[in-house]
Amino acid sequence: AQSVTQLGSHVSVSEGALVLLRCNYSSSVPPYLFWYVQYPNQGLQLLLKYTSAATLVKGINGFEAEFKKSETSFHLTKPSAHMSDAAEYFCAVSLGDKIIFGKGTRLHILP
């Protein structure tokens, strides 16, 4: 069965530093992958999704993710963190018609 694993339940970076949130998937077929963000007391918002058209996917708010089949990874990055990026980030995979979420990574931005 398809699933995703997020490494690190909490990640702290300094403002202006690189953000790297890790996600690995397990799938025997090319997966449909997503990154969602949840700001405090809000719902889930799509950051980006993998469509197989390109391995490097650009999303909103300067985030991007690279699909690496050889590493079964779909890590999320942003070159320069901003205070407003503090949130919970969920990697997710489509399993049939439903979407299954990883456990989430809380991103803390240090001033």
Partner 1 sequence: EPEVTQTPSHQVTQMGQEVILRCVPISNHLYFYWYRQILGQKVEFLVSFYNNEISEKSEIFDDQFSVERPDGSNFTLKIRSTKLEDSAMYFCASRDWTGAKNTEAFFGQGTRLTVV
How far apart are CB 7 and partner 1 at their closest, in Å? 14
How far apart are CB 98 and partner 1 at their closest, in Å? 5
Q: How many residues does the chain have?
A: 111
How far apart are CB 18 and partner 1 at their closest, in Å? 25
Q: Binding string to partner 1 for residues 22 to 61, with x set by CB under 8 A, is what?
A: ----------xxx-x-----xxxxx--xxxx---------
The reply on whether position 7 binds partner 1 by CB under 8 A is no
The reply on whether position 97 binds partner 1 by CB under 8 A is yes
Q: Cα 63 from chain centroid?
A: 9
Q: Given the DSSP bridges, would you call strands 105-110 and 87-95 parallel, antiparallel or unpaired?
A: antiparallel
Among 67, 73, 90, 107, binds partner 1 (CB under 8 A): 90
Distance CA 67, CA 51 (A): 10
Contact between residue 32 and residue 92 where contact means Cβ atoms under 8 Å apart = no
Which residues on neighbouring strands pair with residue 22, listed in sequence order?
7
- Coil, strand or helix at 29: coil
Binding residues vs partner 1 (CB under 8 A): 32-34, 36, 42-46, 49-52, 90, 94, 96-104
